Structure 1
Amino acid sequence: MAQLLALVEKTKPYPLAVAGPADFRCEPVAAVDPGIVLTEPGHSLYCLDHDTRRALFTRTDVDPCGAPFYFQAQYEHATGLVALSYDELHALPVPGEPSGVFLYSTGRCGSTLVGAALAEHGELTGLSEPDVLTQLVTLAPRLREAELRDLARSCVRLLSRGRPVAIKPRSFVIELGALLHDEFPQFAAVFLYREPLSWARSTARAFAGYDPALTTDPAAVQDRLGRLIPLVARWRQRVGRLLSPEEVMACQWVAQLERALALRHRGVDVFTATYEDLLADPPGVLAAMFAHCGLPTGPAELPAGDSQEGTPLSRSATSARSGPGFDETAFMRTVAELWVEALR
């Protein structure tokens, strides 16, 4: 039987940390029917606890669908949890087949706004950064491929719940793009990115100080990033030292572009646009994107306002941060070096 858990304390180390079982301190209450997560309102899949082979569902009094960050709304509004074994997770009778759009991106490129536009005008349920998919990236090296595919199928089924959805994962989930499109070929694929130097400036400002360990334990931060962006780990091993901020950002940008290109090479029909395209011609880009996804005619403009209002990445929050200075020449040099390696 599934386990009902009483929430004792929220223990997430910082707001943008990837969701995990250590985010909550809980006490068991009672055994419950696993179907409670489908039949009682307010339950949504939060994360996996792979050490105990369980999936954790938060119970909230608000719907995290449509929030700027799904994982953050789940955490902030959680009032309790339910734990299901992997077997119970796979056996849940979710109605219908998942369908919709996977919206991949490098981040800092208008993807949250585009995800909101897809949901509002495309008659889709918006899921912006469900972190159980981010977790799967970190778990992938520990799993047999069959188990990884089983978990991916069940997670997407539980996120979709039979509704057409616009799933905009964190940028790291492009690492699973090929697997997700093998399992869900009915989903349309979109990839958004930003020119590298503009992206790096925005990223450096947005994520300045997001993790306290950046200054207290940078090696641990790069260990975590290496599980999300394998190129970070490989490049760090190659140079034999901690990477500079410029090198870490270059690894992220190049790795995610390379993964998008690899999807195309596998024959996946990926609609690709840049942040610069969106700024120059919103109606043209949106119309082409909606047509690619088989959706009704798109909006003439992107949604007004700040799509990340109320989060650590809102305009007001990021504008208040000067961000660390970084060597733009070193960043672009590393981007070039990494592309040479990727093309070999």
Structure 2
Amino acid sequence: MDQKSENNHLEHMSTAMYKGRDYVIYLMSFLLYRFTRSIIVTFQKFTWAITGVENIRRDARRGLQFRQSAHVLDIFWKRKFLPHTIADPKDFIALHSCFKHPNYVLKPNVSLYCMTKTDAIFVETPEGTNIYKSQQHNSYLYEAQFTNAKKIVMMPLASFHKIASDVGNPKVPTIWISSTGRCGSTLLGQVFYRIPGMLLLSEPDAITNLGYLHKNLSLQQGEYEQLLASAVRLLCKPDDRYSMICVKARPNATALSEDIAHMFPQIRQIFMYRNSLKTVWSYLALLQTDPASQALKFIMDNKVISTILPFFRTGVYNYYVKVNAKEIEAIKPSKLSTVGIFTAAWAAGVSRCVEAREKGIPILPILYEDLMKNPLQSCIVLFNRLDIRKEYLSLAAEAFKVDYQKSSVLGQGLLTSDTRRAIPTECRVEADTILKKYSLPKLGERVEVPGLLRFE
């Protein structure tokens, strides 16, 4: 027995060492990528100045080279540290190819990837590759774009706004889904995806980028509003293949839904949420899926280590909560445990919807537990509210029979999190304190947002 126990111990140590080696190699390769990118970008400044590329780029930013203001670059190398990090131009090392008319981005295989203070970044995929279709198979838009991108197109904001103005507001019925995350919003997106002619844009990061730029005060209010309007127009650009559009935003960008409602009152908005305790448990389940996540949770929940390294807690808080959060001085991100951070993420999203409803904005709240009681009846009620043809009901209801996220890291714990396991008393008190500051009931208690959709 002792021999077997010793063998198991040695086996676990060996496995841990191999995984540790793999993570070190992964980290080193990412650092090599970033180092290589910095060298190439620096070198490009000189070569582009000599060849005249930089002159055209500078004139385009000034509005003097509109017809050549779409800068097309061939992707040489691409790398993200984590698959679900927010889209960024640094995801690519790209080399100059040519300049095109801004209408180039209206091609079906070119899509808006992310935003910066100075440029709109598009990605181009091979002809015939439908990155929207791939989202049926557990892929978010930013993932499909990154995986399939062969070129990037950089466009100064002046040209971006001009093209967006020419495109105009969405020409087809559009649905916008916001959520707290870990609440079945992907399932709801798939319900709409099954409607013939529906274009699903699952978590476009151009919207997420703008939320962070605005929250960090990198954009003035007027700049932010103009960029948000242009981003929505080009995300929803005309495409003969689609007669409806569904946009499912990242949970950390719920705050933008109110601005969307003011700019595009014709867009029908939904807010999806779930019981707070189950949501927090589902988020916690994510941190048990691999050694790196487990290590992150250990660091964040260890009072000594998190005091020495507070940026772990602050970084995770900023990712999940910052854009949606209220300015509550008593909540200090560096003092929150993982339970506290995920509770704050849930509370911030829900409070945003409550505030919008109180202002008279017709966002339609949907509670996951209510939606799942009778899927077909839920589809009937939902389709009636959204004026969707009833002939698609049977197709839409089929989505409830499939767990689209069962093989995904993000799917871990969505439907199977064990809420019977007690959250430590200290963490529960922390969660209840946060919820109280947001004027919400205690952890696990039912919350009915004003205007909650009834499926009876």
Same fold (TM over 0.5): yes
- Correspondence for 2:160: 89
Is 2:229–2:263's contact at 8 Å kept on the other side of the alignment? yes
- Correspondence for 2:204: 130
Deviation at 1:14, TM superposition (A): 0.5
Say which is worse superposed, 88-97 or 62-71, in terms of deviation: 88-97
- Correspondence for 1:110: 184
Rounded to whole Å, the distance in 1 between the matches of 2:426 and 2:372 is: 27
Rounded to whole Å, the distance in 2 between the matches of 1:111 and 1:271 is: 13
Task: Say yes or no: does 1:337 pair with 2:433.
Answer: yes
Rounded to whole Å, the distance in 2 between the matches of 1:182 and 1:70 is: 25
- Correspondence for 2:116: 49
Rounded to whole Å, the distance in 1 between the matches of 2:362 and 2:125 is: 37
SS in 1 for 2:115: strand
Deviation at 1:327, TM superposition (A): 3.1
Matched residue type, 2:315: D
Is 1:197–1:328's contact at 8 Å kept on the other side of the alignment? no
- Correspondence for 1:180: 260
Rounded to whole Å, the distance in 2 between the matches of 1:310 and 1:240 is: 31
Deviation at 1:24, TM superposition (A): 1.0
Alignment of 1:100-249 (within 5 A): 100-121=174-195, 123-141=197-215, 142=217, 143-162=219-238, 164-208=244-288, 214=296, 219-220=311-312, 222-223=314-315, 225-226=317-318, 229-230=321-322, 238-239=331-332, 241-249=334-342
Structure 2 residue runs of 5 or longer lacking an equivalent are 1-68, 301-308, 441-456
Distance 1:310 1:240, change over 3 A: closer
- Write the deviation string for residues 130-166 of structure 1: whole angstroms up to 9, x where unpaired: 1111111111132111111111111111111135311
User: Which of 112, 115, 132 is the matching residue for 1:65?
Assistant: 132
Matched residue type, 2:223: E
- Write the deviation string for residues 163-199 of structure 1: whole angstroms up to 9, x where unpaired: 5311011111211111111011101111111111111
User: Which of 350, 353, 357 is the matching residue for 1:264?
Assistant: 357
Q: Considering Cα pairs closer than 8 Å and 6+ residues apart, tell me whether 1 or 2 has the greater RCO.
A: 1
Sequence identity percentage: 25
TM-score (norm. length: structure 2):
0.67
Distance 1:31 1:321, change over 3 A: farther
Rounded to whole Å, the distance in 1 between the matches of 2:363 and 2:150 is: 39
Deviation at 1:257, TM superposition (A): 0.7
- Correspondence for 1:299: 393
Distance 1:331 1:193, change over 3 A: farther
Is 2:340–2:434's contact at 8 Å kept on the other side of the alignment? no
Is 1:138–1:228's contact at 8 Å kept on the other side of the alignment? no
- Write the deviation string for residues 48-72 of structure 1: whole angstroms up to 9, x where unpaired: 132xx11111112322224131110
Structure ranking higher in strand proportion: 1
Rounded to whole Å, the distance in 1 between the matches of 2:414 and 2:178 is: 22
Distance 1:240 1:17, change over 3 A: closer
Rounded to whole Å, the distance in 1 between the matches of 2:348 and 2:388 is: 29
Is 2:278–2:417's contact at 8 Å kept on the other side of the alignment? no
RMSD: 3.0
Distance 1:174 1:253, change over 3 A: same
- Write the deviation string for residues 98-125 of structure 1: whole angstroms up to 9, x where unpaired: 5411111112221111111113227431
Distance 1:145 1:288, change over 3 A: same
Rounded to whole Å, the distance in 2 between the matches of 1:309 and 1:58 is: 28
Figure out how many residues of one structure are paired with residues of the other and give that number: 338
Say which is worse superposed, 56-65 or 73-82, in terms of deviation: 56-65
Matched residue type, 2:195: H
Answer with 1 or 2: which has the greater Rg. Answer: 2
Is 1:225–1:232's contact at 8 Å kept on the other side of the alignment? no
